[in-house]
Structure 1
Amino acid sequence: MLNVSFACDDNYSPYLAICLVSLLKNNIGDFDEIEIFVLDSGIKKINKEKIRKIAHDYGADISFIHVADIEEKYNLTLNKMSVKGDFSLATYSRLFIASLLPETVDKVIYLDCDALVLGSFKEIWDLDLNNYLAAGVLALNCTAEVKKAIDLNEDDSYINAGMLLINLKRWRQENVENQFLEKLVEFNLRGKHFGMDQGVINNVLSKNLLILNPKYNLEGSLHNTNYDITFKLNGNIQKNYYSREVLDDAIENPVFQHFCVGNGEIFNRPWLNRHHEDNKLYRKYFELADFEFDEVFDYHHVALIKRFNRFLARNKLTSFLICKVIPDKLAKKIVGNKMEVDNLTDIERW
């Protein structure tokens, strides 16, 4: 049996539905059963029914687990930290997944909703996780200064927590939830740290992490690049990142295509950019979910040059020119992952 968990509020319920469709279509044949657990931070009844129908149509079981007000329960003030934007408490619910899910569930894959599942999780689900608390994919960008801000050493691994293979049995045995809570309170009292709950996860789990192939969490900034362009455009790639062979293969063959974005990167999301290289693919899965177009898509203007990012990055000639001839500043303007968006962020959607 495959166990998968999502965390969601009502604003993101359409994206959960789309991600769920892609998960089930591309995994249902590899597992006898699939059990879905939704950490529910206020999904409306009508949207729960739409999501429940998707699961049942593919023969999967689904449970909605109400997430109590984390701030009140643990006497925290999460959104008073010095970070940009107001973050939904659904963001933090995965920290408490060990107590939210039934104790009979020893292992689970946690997935962010802003993604598509394009392949099977069978290979990693069968991994021996006994010696690890979790498995995940290295985040692309993480400087030594960032790691220091969350009390990590430069050589420590820092993962993107949007996809986690979690050893729930060991989390419960080692009281990992309490460790998260203690670190969350400590960071909260500092008033500023990096990565919100992702920073907490990395701090607590870093010494007991199994690092996965990047195809299991291909970040948005990698979708339209290759190894050379990635290193050309990013000056803060973390130490001990993936090799050329591994990264380029993942870019071509993602299993979990994660549309996570940073500030100014909204055009990396196919529901915000009609010219996104995966817009048609995303529309395909959207059409299998029972939500209206305007509940999902909110297209914004994208500069002409940014409409051809994947072509420019994958074409051998233009890739060579970008990497070997064009200055860094100009290369970032042509195929970089940031653009001016009049201070618009994507936080309204989360």
Structure 2
Amino acid sequence: MKVDSSEILNVLFSSNDDFCPYLGVSLYSFLKYNHDEFEKINIFIFDDNIDKSNKEKLNQISNQFNQDLIFIKVSDIQSKFENKLDLMEKEGITSITTYNRLFASSILKDIDKLLYLDADSLIFGSFKELWGFNLDEFYIGAVEDLLSIDIVKTNIGMESSKGYVNAGFLLINLKKWREVNIEEKFLDFQTKTHDKFIFHDQGIINGVCKDHILYLHPKYNLISIFHGIEYEKLIKLGGLTDYYDKKTVEDAQENPVFVHFSGGDLNRPWFNKEQPFHKIYYEYVNKTPFKGQINVKKLPIKDVLFYKFYKSKVLSILLKFIPMGVAVKIANKRVENQCKSM
């Protein structure tokens, strides 16, 4: 039975039990802005041992908007691909959980088009226009990451002129994935290049899909470094010589559709009260059955001071005196050190 249509949105989340409350907040915000935009929404959740009580809470959220959730056990995915687990090992990871979305074309056999959303997020708009994009000649649609620098791209055989994307928001052409047998390409890339890429499945997705990416407006994945940071600062911090223009980025900041709390604890509103979306995030928390389960963590004072400096005008002024060429070298060196430590 085919379940694809321009009026039927197919969405995938993935979560374990610990992260389930954050998934609940993301799910609520998603449904608030999209439940009446489509004739039907199929919401799939790759379920890594989510407790029964947490599943009930997720279902309470979906029921508010007359939608159903479809839970797919990660253990079932592991069982299906058990003979390939050893090929996916990296940094002590012996579970396919980290990589499960790479196998979506086999697991979701009746789906030809899919929207994958990371659960550390808030949604502030409709996906109706996005869902209508022509993806026929592309493997994925995604937003370019701030890690789109030379060393990251060189390590995965990506040309410097192409953009390295963030995999927390993906418009996926599952039909094309099956046509090109992309799962085998993912496995082959991982086994041959596992010591050169970082960020797990994101490195694999970029390495395999690099010539078949539809680059999306950054409003569809407003990653954390965009949150409350002026354009000139983020370009210097990222060492980016070829990126979205200032108008495009500022439009995304003013009118985000998908806000992504990526990049560590300081960028997450449930850790950092100074995070620009902290207040509105908890407004959403309080509308879900997970109210009281997402408590603000206490950050070390050194992290608080670092964040204040990071957001400060002092850093903005200092960055103006750093030539772009030097900023690029610093960014590449920072990521190189990160690669060595992994």
TM-score (norm. length: structure 1) = 0.81
List aligned pairs for 1:240-319, cutoff 5 A: 240-261=242-263, 265-301=264-300, 303=304, 306=307, 318=313
For 1:338, the equivalent position in structure 2 comes to none
Mapped pair 1:113 → 2:115:
no
Secondary structure of the residue aligned to 1:116 is strand
* Separation in structure 2 between the aligned mates of residue 21 and residue 179 of structure 1, nearest angstrom: 35
> Following superposition, which runs of at least 4 residues in structure 1 exceed 6 angstroms of deviation?
none
Q: Does 1:139 align with 2:145?
A: yes
* Residues 156-171 of structure 1 aligned to structure 2 (within 5 Å): 156-171=162-177
Which residue does 2:233 correspond to in 1?
229
Q: Which residue of 2 aligns with 1:347?
A: none
Give the structure 1 partner of residue 24 of structure 2: 17
- Check whether the contact 1:229–1:323 (CA below 8 A) recurs between aligned residues: no
Q: Match for residue 124 of structure 1?
A: 130
Residue 150 of structure 1, aligned match among 130, 141, 156: 156
How many aligned positions are there? 311
The separation in 1 between residues aligned to 2:31 and 2:171, in whole angstroms, is 17
What secondary structure is seen at the aligned counterpart in 2 of 1:254? coil
Equivalent residue letter for 1:241: Y
**Which residue of the partner structure matches residue 221 of structure 2?**
217
Structure 2 gaps, min length 5:
1-7, 323-342
Change over 3 Å in CA distance of 1:48–1:88 after alignment to 2: farther
* Partner in structure 2 of residue 344 of structure 1: none
Which one-letter code corresponds to 1:163 in the other structure? F
Residue number among 168, 178, 192 corresponding to 1:172 in the alignment: 178
Task: Give the equivalent residue in structure 2 for 1:69.
Answer: 78
Q: Output the CA distance in 2 between the equivalents of 1:145 and 1:6.
A: 30
Partner of 2:333: none
Alpha-carbon distance between aligned partners in 2 of 1:180 and 1:52, rounded to the nearest angstrom: 33
Letter in 1 for 2:274: H
* Deviation string, structure 1 residues 65-124 (Cα, Å, up to 9, x no partner): 112337834132645438xxx6974331111111111x2211110011111111111111
Q: Is the 8 A contact 1:276 1:307 kept in 2?
A: no
One-letter amino acid matched to 2:67: A
Q: Is the 8 A contact 1:39 1:64 kept in 2?
A: yes
1:200 is the counterpart of 2:194: no
Amino acid at match of 1:63: I
For the residues of structure 2 that align with 1:52 and 1:179, how far apart are their CA atoms? 35
C-alpha distance 244-326 of structure 1, shift in aligned 2 (>3 A): closer
3-state SS in 1 of match to 2:160? coil
Cα offsets for 1:179-212 (capped at 9, x unmatched): 1122122234xx4522211111011111111000
Contact 1:226 1:251 in 2 (8 A): no
Helix, strand or coil: the match of 2:228? coil
Paired residue for 2:325? Answer: none
Aligned-partner Cα distance in 1 for 2:16–2:253 = 30
Within 2, Cα distance between the matches of 1:308 and 1:57?
Answer: 42
Q: 1:88 to 1:241 in 2, by over 3 A?
A: farther
Separation in 1, partners of 2:127, 2:228: 23
**Deviation of 1:231 (Å):** 1.9
Are the aligned partners of 2:148 and 2:165 in contact in 1 as well (CA < 8 Å)?
no
Find the aligned partners of 1:275 and 1:38 in 2 and give their Cα distance. 31
Match of 2:316 among 319, 322, 339: 322
Whole-angstrom CA distance in 2 between matches of 1:54 and 1:97? 24
Long gaps (5+) in structure 1: 313-317, 329-350
Say if 2:156 and 2:196, in contact at 8 Å, map to a contact too: no
Q: CA deviation at 1:125?
A: 0.6
Provide the C-alpha distance between the structure 2 equivalents of 1:279 and 1:123, rounded to a whole number of angstroms: 28
* Cα 1:290/1:124, change in 2 over 3 Å: same
Note closer, same or farther for the CA distance 1:306–1:182 as it changes in structure 2 (3 Å cut): closer
Greater mean alpha carbon deviation, residues 59-68 or residues 209-218: 59-68
How many angstroms apart in 2 are the aligned matches of 1:159 and 1:266? 21
Counterpart AA for 2:126: S
Is 2:42–2:69's contact at 8 Å kept on the other side of the alignment?
yes
- Taking every aligned residue pair, what percent have the same amino acid on both sides? 37
